[in-house]
Amino acid sequence: MKNLKKYYILHAQPRDVYNALTNKTMLEIWTGEPAVMEPVAGSEFSLWDGSISGINIEFDEGKKIVQQWFFEGQETESVVTIKLHQHQKGTSVELVHTNIPDEAFENIAEGWDEDYFGALSELFN
């Protein structure tokens, strides 16, 4: 199992980034795929038409999102924590993703850069 920690700068206010990450309609706009999302702890979520799924653990509006991600055949809890901070250019995003299966690590790391925060960056530019 591997852990990942990354930082991103997005040209939008933290409340707008938070909305893009937690609002079902906004998720479908920037991913281009069906999504299931309700910003309620304990609710299930699904992104990219089921390619990513799990359980929402914690929400701190405009500041933090914590989710448990499911990986097929994995029993260990993989947790994603996204913290949003005010930045002079908009929002500084701190991403921590723990317990990523070794065989999925490169794909997950690339997905965060390109599909997830790359697409969000395009949305806000």
Q: Under CATH, which number does the domain 2-124 receive?
A: 3.30.530.20
The arithmetic mean of pLDDT across residues 69-86, rounded, is 88
The pLDDT, as a whole number, for residue 122 is: 93
The arithmetic mean of pLDDT across residues 31-58, rounded, is 95
| Host H or E run for residue 64 | strand 64-69
Ranges of each domain in the chain:
2-124
Task: Decide if 119 contacts 29 (C-beta within 8 A).
Answer: no
What is the per-residue pLDDT across 13-34, written as a single tens digit (0 to 9) for each? 999 999 999 999 999 999 999 9
Mean pLDDT value across the chain: 94
The pLDDT, as a whole number, for residue 87 is: 96
At 36 the three-state DSSP class reads strand
The pLDDT, as a whole number, for residue 10 is: 97
Report residue 54: phi and psi, to 5°: 170, -155
